[in-house]
Structure 1
Amino acid sequence: MKNVLTIAGSDSCGGAGIQADLKTMSALGVYGMSVITAVTAQNTVGVIDVQEIDKKIVECQIRCIFDDINVDAVKIGMVSNSEIIETITNLLIEYKAKNIVVDPVMVSKSGYFLLKPEAVEKLKKLISISHVVTPNIPEAETLTGMKIINEDDMKKAALCISKMGPKYVLVKGGHRCNDANDILYTGKDFIKIKGYRIQTKNTHGTGCTLSSSIASYLAKNYGIEDAVKESKNYITKAIENSFSIGHGVGPVGHLVELYKKAGVDFE
């Protein structure tokens, strides 16, 4: 079995962050491990508060994993401040980590800022050592300083982000550009990863889920294009099988096949 490490924040309602990552990794047949960077108090309505983990504890968690276990891929999600980002970057370089997937989490769906503005430049350094970075439209706009309206803009943003150093860039179009098509830039070519918009409000944790899925497939030795396409299929099915658990934005169906076997009825 392949081992995949997620470095991200904890989501108390279980739909995003560490919890979404571990569910995704389990669903895709890899062993998930975690380094928690922050504890969030949130539910389906929004993020109420965030407690960042001390950088020394973040460092200790990372060293404990790499000193003992072979890590086949690393997914990085919420990393809220400069010190934590710098610590993670330096340690991944030290341990020669492979298959690094950076999901540049900046703002929650409810509008809560999860990345401090002064940490954006440090985040770009982390992006520079990644195998692939997976920004959505708002995140790509923040990283590039450009407005993204259409598919051509997505390509321009991908090209701009690629100059920061990642091997591959995946700009996700689901927020507003098109019918949920994504653009993968390989350093040479632009590949359209086709999707379709699903009419549901329950999309909590989609970015976390997609990036941890990509990390899982990379760990299993998939090439980047196949890893992204398989992950697109996975997240699409998860959104199709999303469900309501509260008054706001519900989670996607990370473990829908397991739930079906258990006889769960979401109606």
Structure 2
Amino acid sequence: MKKVLSIAGSDCSGGAGIQADIKTITAHKMYAMSVITALTAQNTTGVYGVSEVTPEFVGNQIDCVMKDIFPDSIKIGMVSSAKIIDIIAEKLIQYKAKNIVVDPVMISTSGSRLLNDDAMDALITKLIPLATIITPNIYEAECLCGFEIKSKEDMEKAALKISESYKGNILVKGGHLSECSDDLLYNNGKFTWYPSPRVDNPNTHGTGCTLSSAIACNLDKEEDVELSVEKAKDYISGAIKANLDLGRGRGPLNHCYK
């Protein structure tokens, strides 16, 4: 059985973070493991508290996983401090980890910045360079490229700018565009667009976590990156179209719709 490790924060309401990752990995018939970087008190209406795990204990968790059930791929989500990022990067290098998907959780869906300057710098300079693919949304891509993104043309310009400092695969997610929700994959001078018609469903809590985990699962199958993204997009579209309706706010996806 293929093994996938998620390094991320915990969502007690089950829609995002570690919980969404485990559901996604299990739905792909793979073995899910987790390293928790933070506990969050949240539900479909918002985040009401965050308690970080110490960097030392994050490192301890990674050691335990790597020394016993070595993952075939790794998804990295919420990493809220520079010291946690440092230990994760150190361990990934130490254990020669492969198939690393980094979802650079820097900006919330509402546009609020989630990382301080030190953590942002560590994410960009230490963690992102280790990734096979990064999956920024529009707001996060703006942080990485330094200018506003309002169109598909802007997404291409952003990917080119980000590629000046990061040589891996860049998936710019277009879910926050007004004209469409198409995603763009860029690598080595090639643009690949993934058309995504908007689904009339406001319940999209955890979509970023779910997509990055699904990509990690497909990389685990030794698929190329383009096909891995395509299959992950198909999976998440189905999970949204299943129209699960839980909670009083922006509800979760149906990860087990198949």
- Asked whether the two chains share a fold, i.e. TM above 0.5, the reply is yes
Matched, 1:193 2:194: yes
Look up the match of 1:223: 224
Deviations 1:9-52 (CA, angstroms, capped at 9, x unpaired): 00010000000000000001111100000000001100001000
Deviations 1:220-252 (CA, angstroms, capped at 9, x unpaired): 111100000000101111111132221100001
Where 2:166 maps in the other structure, the secondary structure is coil
Structure 2: which amino acid aligns with 1:185? Y
Q: CA deviation at 1:120?
A: 0.8
Look up the match of 1:40: 40
Where 1:256 maps in the other structure, the secondary structure is coil
Alignment check: 8 A CA contact 1:79 1:85 kept: yes
Where 1:114 maps in the other structure, the secondary structure is coil
Where 2:215 maps in the other structure, the secondary structure is helix
Alignment check: 8 A CA contact 2:167 2:187 kept: no
Q: CA deviation at 1:111?
A: 5.7
Q: Within 2, Cα distance between the matches of 1:85 and 1:120?
A: 10
Q: Within 1, Cα distance between the matches of 2:128 and 2:253?
A: 27
Q: CA deviation at 1:164?
A: 2.6
Look up the match of 1:260: none
Q: Within 2, Cα distance between the matches of 1:178 and 1:133?
A: 23
Alignment check: 8 A CA contact 1:129 1:165 kept: no
Look up the match of 2:233: 232
Give unpaired runs (5+ residues) of structure 2: none
TM-score normalised to structure 1 length: 0.93
Look up the match of 2:30: 30
Which of 179-188 and 75-84 deviates more?
Answer: 179-188
Q: Within 2, Cα distance between the matches of 1:200 and 1:177?
A: 16
Alignment check: 8 A CA contact 2:136 2:173 kept: yes
Look up the match of 2:245: 244
Structure 1: which amino acid aligns with 2:248? H
Matches within 5 A, 1:30-109: 30-109=30-109
Alignment check: 8 A CA contact 1:131 1:167 kept: yes
Sort the Cα spacing of 1:12 and 1:110 in 2 relative to 1 into closer, same or farther, 3 A: farther
Which of 233-242 and 213-222 deviates more?
Answer: 233-242
Q: CA deviation at 1:156?
A: 1.2
Q: Within 2, Cα distance between the matches of 1:140 and 1:111?
A: 12
Sort the Cα spacing of 1:243 and 1:110 in 2 relative to 1 into closer, same or farther, 3 A: farther
Q: Within 1, Cα distance between the matches of 2:212 and 2:116?
A: 21
Q: CA deviation at 1:197?
A: 0.4
Deviations 1:147-202 (CA, angstroms, capped at 9, x unpaired): 00111110111122222324100000011154211010022200001111011110
Q: Within 2, Cα distance between the matches of 1:184 and 1:62?
A: 29
Matches within 5 A, 1:138-149: 138-149=139-150
Count of aligned pairs: 257
Where 1:74 maps in the other structure, the secondary structure is strand
Give unpaired runs (5+ residues) of structure 1: 258-267
Where 1:104 maps in the other structure, the secondary structure is coil
Structure 2: which amino acid aligns with 1:106? M
TM-score normalised to structure 2 length: 0.96
